[in-house]
Amino acid sequence: MYKIVSIPGDGIGPEVVAGAVAVMQQLSKKHGFEIQIEEHPFGGASYDLHGEMLTEATLEACRNCDAVLLGAVGGPKWENLPHEHKPEAALLKIRKELGLFANLRPAKVYDALIDASSLKADVVRGTDFVVFRELTGGIYFGQPRGFDATKGWNTMVYEGYEVERIARLAFEAARQRKGRVMSIDKANVLEVSQFWRNVVIEVHKDFADVELSHMYVDNAAMQIVRNPKQFDVIVTGNLFGDILSDIAGMITGSLGMLPSASIGTKHALYEPIHGSAPDIAGQNKANPIATIASVAMMFEHSFGRPDIAREIEQAIEATLAAGLRTADIANPGDATVSTTAMTEAIVKNLSA
């Protein structure tokens, strides 16, 4: 039995998570395994109910399940709360509490969606890489931090073990892909980046069969939009990974297409990389594909079922090849389908 905590969250979160749950239920029927889904509030939805973005009850449920599925959090309603009470603070806390040190963000261009990219078709065709972003260290967590009337300050710090464990995951993933790792840093300016590079080079000694290259982050941002096919596995720190993975996301056509996994030693959380999109919340317009693709990552990384992950990906590809488009991935003049219609089509293709 697979025990999953579902956290719909805010905005379009409940709508896209409902689509992912429908896919999991269909897979349960098809393959005969039992799946238990327990829903908990998080983010603004939790704040409205309990006065806090992340309750101990939700956190405890996440500690005692096989995987967590998160929709999206935040929105204008909660933007003016003190920093420590904002949804983003709750996201940082849950990652830290669950030890989710690695964020995996695939950037894959589906053939059916080549025209949805803002880049030329010949540039993006065949793009298929993954960003490994370190998630619990770096400048987002460094101390000291603060600001006063005249200045603000943050500290970027990395411990050796933090760099080593994310590097090992990246090298291991590359062994199952094309065998190439690109480590992204700013070692020409930042001492912490030179330290990062030194540790990655040391870890590489255990993975001599994998090719290791290094690139400065400013050049990497340019190269991702100039020639994305050159990348296989990218490994980088928290801040750089945050920026580069969003750049990578947009070259695929829409953030609504991209899943992610946040993985630790004992726990894992899966979520689309898009936000809560309050402007379309409740209108049945959201693209559920990123959340459904996150379920594919869940089956591969948490449940050890890459075969089911491929089934989900093939069902998504078949649905797109049939011409179905939500508004975010449609070309001008194209007919669009609703969140539920896209979900139903993917579920039908799973049954085929």
Mind spelling out the 3-state secondary structure of 278-289?
CCCCCCCCCCCH
What's this model's pTM, rounded to 2 decimal places? 0.89
The tokens for 64 are 């005692």
Q: What's the confidence (pLDDT) of residue 288? A: 97
The yes-or-no answer on residue 232 being catalytic is: no
Give the pLDDT score at 249: 80
- Segment (H or E) for 241: helix 238-251
- Indicate the SS3 state at residue 266: coil
Of 185, 232, 242, 328, which residue is the catalytic one? 242
Are 23 and 279 contacting, i.e. CB atoms less than 8 angstroms apart? no
Q: Which residues have C-beta within 8 Å of that of residue 51, sequence separation ≥ 6? A: none
Q: Is the pLDDT of residue 7 over 80?
A: yes
d(CA 103, CA 232): 16
When mean pLDDT is compared across 60-64, 270-274, 328-332, the lowest value belongs to 328-332
**Residue 255 reports pLDDT greater than 80:** no
Average pLDDT over residues 75-101: 89
Q: What is the pLDDT of residues 67-77, one digit of tens each?
A: 999 999 999 99
On whether the CB atoms of residues 138 and 153 are closer than 8 A, the answer is no
What average pLDDT does range 237-261 have in this prediction? 88
Of 86, 186, 270, 328, the catalytic one is: 186
Least confidently predicted of 44-48, 50-54, 189-193, 244-248: 244-248
The predicted structure's pLDDT at residue 281: 96
What end-to-end distance do the CA atoms of the chain give, in Å? Answer: 24
Strands 2-9 and 67-72: parallel
Which of the four pLDDT bands, split at 50, 70 and 90, describes residue 193? Answer: very high
Dihedral angle, C-alpha 88, 91, 93, 97, nearest 10 °: -170
Q: For the residues 98-113, what does the mean pLDDT come to?
A: 92
Tell me the three state secondary structure of residue 71.
strand
Which H, E and C letters describe the chain, residue by residue?
A: CEEEEEEEECCCHHHHHHHHHHHHHHHHHHHCCCEEEEECCCCHHHHHHHCCCCCHHHHHHHHCCCEEEEEECCCHHHCCCCHHHCHHHHHHHHHHHCCCCEEEEEEECCHHHHHHCCCCHHHHCCCEEEEEEECCCHHHCCCCCEECCCCEECCCCCCHHHHHHHHHHHHHHHHCCCCEEEEEECCCCCHHHHHHHHHHHHHHCCCCCCEEEEEEHHHHHHHHHHCHHHCCEEEECHHHHHHHHHHHHHHCCCHHHCEEEEECCCCEEEEECCCCCCCCCCCCCCCCHHHHHHHHHHHHHCCCCHHHHHHHHHHHHHHHHCCCCCHHHCCCCCCCCCHHHHHHHHHHHHHC
**2, 140, 158, 270: which is the annotated catalytic residue?**
140
Average pLDDT, the chain: 94
Please name each of the domains of the chain with its CATH number. 1-101+264-352 (3.40.718.10), 109-239+247-252 (3.40.718.10)
pLDDT digits (tens, 9 = 90+) for 117-167: 888 999 999 999 999 999 999 999 999 999 999 999 999 999 999 999 999
242 belongs to the catalytic site: yes
Share of the chain above pLDDT 90, in %: 83
Query: Using 50, 70 and 90 to split pLDDT, how confident is the model at 92?
Result: confident
The verdict on whether 161 is a catalytic residue reads no
Burial, 49: exposed, middle or buried (Cβ in 10 Å; 0-12, 13-18, 19+)?
exposed
Question: Could you give the CA distance from residue 93 to residue 74 in angstroms, rounded to a whole number?
Answer: 15
Is the preceding omega at residue 144 within 30 degrees of 0, hence cis? yes
Annotated active-site residue in 48, 111, 115, 218: 218
What is the distance between the alpha carbons of residues 290 and 268, in angstroms, rounded to a whole number? 17
User: pLDDT confidence of 96, banded at 50, 70, 90?
Assistant: confident
Whether the predicted pLDDT of 99 surpasses 80: yes
Per the model's pLDDT, the better-predicted residue between 81 and 101 turns out to be: 101
Catalytic site includes residue 246: yes
The yes-or-no answer on residue 140 being catalytic is yes
- Are 140 and 174 contacting, i.e. CB atoms less than 8 angstroms apart? no
CA atoms within a 13 Å half-sphere pointing along the CA-CB vector of 20:
35
List pLDDT tens digits, range 217-234: 999 999 999 999 999 999
Q: Which two tokens stand for residue 70?
A: 């998160």
Q: Which of 66, 96, 108, 246 is catalytic?
A: 246
